[in-house]
Structure 1
Amino acid sequence: MGAQEHCDVLVIGSGAGGLATAITARKHGLSVIVIEKEPVFGGTTAFSGGVLWIPGNRHGRALNPDDTRAAARAYLRAETGNFHQPEAVEAFLEAGPKMLDWFEAETEVKFVPTLYPDYHPTVPGGVDVGRSVLAAPYDSSALGENLRRLRPPLATITFMGMMFNSSNADIRHFFNATRSLTSFAYVAKRLAAHAAEVVRHGRGVQVTSGNALAARLAKTCFDLGIPILTETPALHLLKQGGRVTGAQVGGAQPRSIMAARGVVLACGGYAQDLARRAGIYAHLKAGGAHHSPVPPGNTGDGIRLGEAVGGAFEAEYPQPAAWMPVSLVPGKGVFPHLLDRYKPGMIAVRSDGRRFVNESDSYHDVGAAMAAGDGAAWLICDHRTIRKYGLGHAKPAPMPLWLWTRSGYLKRGRTLAGLARACGIDPAGLEATVAAYNRGAREGRDEQFRRGETSFNRYLADPEHKPNPCVAPVERGPFYAVRMEMGDLGTFDGLRTTVEGAVLDRQGAAIAGLYAVGNDRASIMGGNYPGAGITLGPAMTFGWITGRHLAGRAAATEDAA
Structure 2
Amino acid sequence: MSRQEPPSARQIDDVETYDVVVVGAGAGGLTAATIAAADGLSVLLLEQADVVGGTTAISGGMVWIPGNHKAAAEGRADTLEAARTYLGETVPGADRVRLETFLKFGDEALRDLEARTSLRLKPVPTYPDYYPDLPGATAGGRVLEPVPFDARALGKAFALLRDPLPEFVLFGGMMISRQDIPHLRRAGRSLRSTLHVAGLLARYGWQRLQARRGTTLYLGNALVARLLRSALDGGVIVRTGASVERLEKDANGRVAVLDVAEHSGRHRRITARRGVILATGGLSYDAELRGHYVPRAAGTLSATVDPGVAPRGARLAAVLGARLSPPTEQGAFWVPASTFTRRDGTRGIFPHTVTDRAKPGLIAVDATGRRFVNEAVSYHEFVRAQLGHGDVAIPAWLICDHRFLWKYGLGKVKPFTRSVEQDVASGYLKRADGVAGLARTVGVPETAFVETVSEFNRHAMRGDDPAFGRGGNIYQRSLGDADQTPNPCVAPIVDAPFYAVAVYPADLGMSAGIVTDERARVLAEDGSPIPGLFACGNDMASIMEGAYPGPGITLGPALTFGWLAGRTVAGANI
Q: Report the Cα distance in structure 2 between the residues aligned to 1:547 and 1:193, rounded to whole angstroms.
A: 38
Q: Distance in 2 between matches of 1:452 and 1:310?
A: 48
* In 2: Cα distance, 1:140 partner to 1:437 partner: 46
Indicate the residue corresponding to 2:356 in structure 1: 340
- Residue 259 of structure 1 corresponds to 272
> Who is 2:493 aligned against?
474
What pairs up with 1:402-417 in 2 under 5 angstroms?
A: 402-417=421-436
Q: CA shift at 1:242, angstroms? A: 2.1
Q: Which of the residues 197, 214, 233 maps onto 2:207? A: 197
> What is the percent sequence identity of the aligned residues?
43
Q: Is 2:382 the partner of 1:366? A: yes
The correspondence of residues 242-281 of structure 1 with structure 2, limited to 5 A, is: 242-251=253-262, 252=264, 253-281=266-294
1:381–1:474 Cα contact (<8 Å) kept? yes
Does 2:438 align with 1:419?
Answer: yes
SS at match of 1:233: strand
Alignment of 1:514-533 (within 5 A): 514-533=533-552
For the structure 1 residues 66 and 221, does the alpha-carbon distance in structure 2 shift closer, same or farther, using more than 3 Å as the test?
A: closer
The aligned residue for residue 5 of structure 2 is: none
| CA displacement at 1:193 relative to structure 2 | 2.4
Stretch of structure 1 that moved more, 419-428 or 272-281 = 272-281
Question: Pick from 318, 323, 327: which aligns with 1:307?
Answer: 318
SS in 2 for 1:450: coil
The one-letter amino acid paired with 1:357 is V
Query: 2:113: which partner in 1?
Result: 103
Q: Give the whole-Å Cα distance in 1 for the aligned partners of 2:80 and 2:293.
A: 34
Indicate the SS of the match to 2:371: coil
Indicate the RMSD between aligned Cα atoms, in angstroms.
Answer: 1.7
State the TM-score, normalized to the length of structure 1. Answer: 0.94
Which runs of structure 2 are paired with 1:353-502 in the superposition (5 Å)? 353-372=369-388, 373-374=390-391, 375-397=394-416, 399-502=418-521
Letter paired with 2:27: A
Amino acid at match of 1:152: D
What is the distance in 2 between the residues matched to 1:275 and 1:236? 19
Residues 497-532 of structure 1 deviation map (CA, whole Å, 9 limit, x = unaligned)? 111011111121111110100000000011011111
Provide the residue aligned with 1:216 in structure 2: 226
Is the 8 Å Cα contact of residues 290 and 485 (structure 1) preserved in structure 2? no
Matched, 1:350 2:350: no
**Shift of residue 133, structure 1, vs aligned partner:** 0.3
2-structure distance, mates of 1:315, 1:402: 47
- Unaligned runs of 5+ residues in structure 1 are 556-561
Write the distance in 2 (CA, Å) between the matches of 1:494 and 1:394.
Answer: 34
Gaps of 5+ in 2: 1-7
- Please state whether the residue corresponding to 1:248 is helix, strand or coil: strand
Measure the CA separation in 1 of the matches of 2:188 and 2:385: 36
Residue from 157, 170, 180 that aligns with 1:170: 180
Q: Shift in Å at residue 51 of structure 1?
A: 0.8
Residues 505, 343 of structure 1: alpha-carbon distance in 2 compared, 3 angstrom cutoff: same
Shift of 1:34: 0.4
How many Å separate the matches in 1 of 2:496 and 2:60? 34
Alignment size in residue pairs: 550
SS, match of residue 201 in structure 1: coil
The answer to whether the 8 Å contact 1:63/1:129 transfers is no
- Cα gap change, 1:230 to 1:459, in 2 (>3 Å): same
Once the 2 structures are TM-superposed, how far is the Cα of residue 28 of structure 1 from its aligned partner?
1.3
Equivalent residues of 2:293, 2:328 under 8 A apart? no
- Normalised to the residue count of structure 2, the TM-score between the two structures is 0.92
Quote the residue 1:88 is aligned against: 98
- Asked if 1:62 corresponds to 2:73, the answer is yes
Q: 2: distance between equivalents of 1:55 and 1:255?
A: 42
Q: Give per-residue Cα distances to partners, 1:386-418, cap 9 Å, x unaligned.
A: 222111122223532333223222111121110
Aligned to 1:558: none
CA contact (8 A) 1:236 1:248 kept: yes
**Are the aligned partners of 2:175 and 2:214 in contact in 1 as well (CA < 8 Å)?**
no
Q: Are 2:148 and 2:216, in contact at CA under 8 Å, matched by a contact in 1?
A: yes
State how far apart, in whole Å, the 2-side matches of 1:136 and 1:120 are: 26
How far apart are the structure 2 equivalents of 1:386 and 1:266? 39
Deviation at 1:255? 1.3
Distance 2:171 2:141 in 1: 33
Structure 1 stretch displaced more, 156-165 or 29-38: 156-165
Evaluate the alpha carbon distance shift between residue 278 and residue 194 of structure 1 in structure 2; reply closer, same or farther with a 3 A threshold.
farther
Measure the CA separation in 1 of the matches of 2:96 and 2:288. 32
SS state at 2:138 partner: coil
Matching residue's letter, 1:312 = R
8 Å contact 1:173–1:186 — kept in the other structure?
A: yes
The answer (yes or no) to whether the contact 1:178–1:398 under 8 Å persists in 2 is: no
Aligned to 1:559: none
Residue of structure 1 aligned with 2:341, choices 330, 333, 338? 330
Contact kept? 2:292, 2:327, Cα under 8 Å: no
C-alpha offsets along residues 37-76 of structure 1, whole Å, 9 cap, x if unaligned?
1100111111111110001112221345442110101111
The residue matched to 1:264 in structure 2 has which SS? Answer: strand
Counterpart CA distance in 1 for 2:22 and 2:67 is 29
